[in-house]
Structure 1
């Protein structure tokens, strides 16, 4: 009996591995964006808690510049909005990858002769 898998099965396994790598990359991106969102929310909270006449500095590279508190708050809120949108996009991509992963798993089971349970 030959232990070599048919090309179709090899292709399905390769696709599963590729989807798994994509899912891991997405997870890393999501974690990074979630961390930036938390930092941005924290910055907004601190700025809003500061007094109107507080001297605020903004870091640009390795240089600090005096910044307008209200403009900086608005800038951070805009940044958070963009990050939230990016996070939603990543979540949708992750959902599609998980769905495709499940489909490929079922196809692979069928190709290998295992019975796939019917959806209830």
Structure 2
């Protein structure tokens, strides 16, 4: 197999690994967004004077409801931005993957008649 074809196959495999890693990250971020949205919903549903605790590691601290809602909303914004960035990275990888596939098909197409 020509070195160019081997290189293209290696690049395709690398892009596939990157895409799988991105999908894992996206899934994790999406789960964190759902958890954050759920926490905000529960906090907003709680009465104004309710005693709220925040978990920091293995320790619980008393927290201000309003500040905690703001903190979780900011966290969600950051996660949404991260998810959007991962989506753009995924699009770039998919585009590059398609280009490499086409190049590989062209390379193999050129080599097959010579071998026949």
1:52 aligns to 2:48 (yes or no): yes
Match 1:30 to one of 4, 26, 30: 26
Q: Partner residue of 1:86? A: 82
Deviation by residue 1:61-101 (Cα, 9 ceiling, x = unmatched): 00000000000000000000000000000000000000000
Q: Secondary structure at the match of 2:109?
A: coil
Runs of 4+ in 1 over 3 A off after TM superposition: none
Aligned residue pairs total: 110
Residue 60 of structure 1 deviates from its aligned partner by 0.4
Q: Secondary structure at the match of 2:48?
A: coil
Q: Partner residue of 2:94? A: 98
- If the length of structure 2 is used for normalisation, what is the TM-score? 0.94
Residue 19 of structure 1 deviates from its aligned partner by 0.1
Alignment gaps of 5+ in structure 1: 115-120
Alignment gaps of 5+ in structure 2: 111-116
Deviation by residue 1:18-54 (Cα, 9 ceiling, x = unmatched): 0000000000000000000000000000000000000
